[in-house]
Amino acid sequence: MAASLKSWKELPIGGVVPGGATPELNKTGSWRAERPIWDQEKCIQCLQCWLHCPDDSIRINGQKVTGVDYDYCKGCGVCATVCPVDAIGMVPEREGTCAK
């Protein structure tokens, strides 16, 4: 086990994690089996993907989509389903971002 893991004597009572917004500390993108690929050329900036993402993984700058946050995206595919112009496609994770 890594040395950074705490001993049982150092844990807060009942496994409580003090402090808020703790999901940010736990990057869950590795759960993903399929990866959404966003096509900037096709995107009409309707923000439907950002609205529907059950995590917080569609990156925006102001009111413009800039991409997907792969640190937290779990690959559910909701964004690809709701996109009215097929600007988001799902590819198997093992193929990653490799161009075809």
Contacts to another protein by CB under 8 A:
1, 5-9, 11-22
Which lies closer to another protein via its Cβ, residue 29 or residue 67? 29
Residue type, 71: D
CB of 1 to another protein, least distance (A): 7
Please say whether the beta carbons of 69 and 27 come within 8 A: no
Rounded to whole angstroms, the Cα distance separating 66 from 58 reads 8
Our CB check for another protein shows the closer of 12 and 84 to be 12
Task: Fill in the DSSP letter of residue 96.
Answer: T
- Of residues 18 and 62, the one with the C-beta less far from another protein: 18
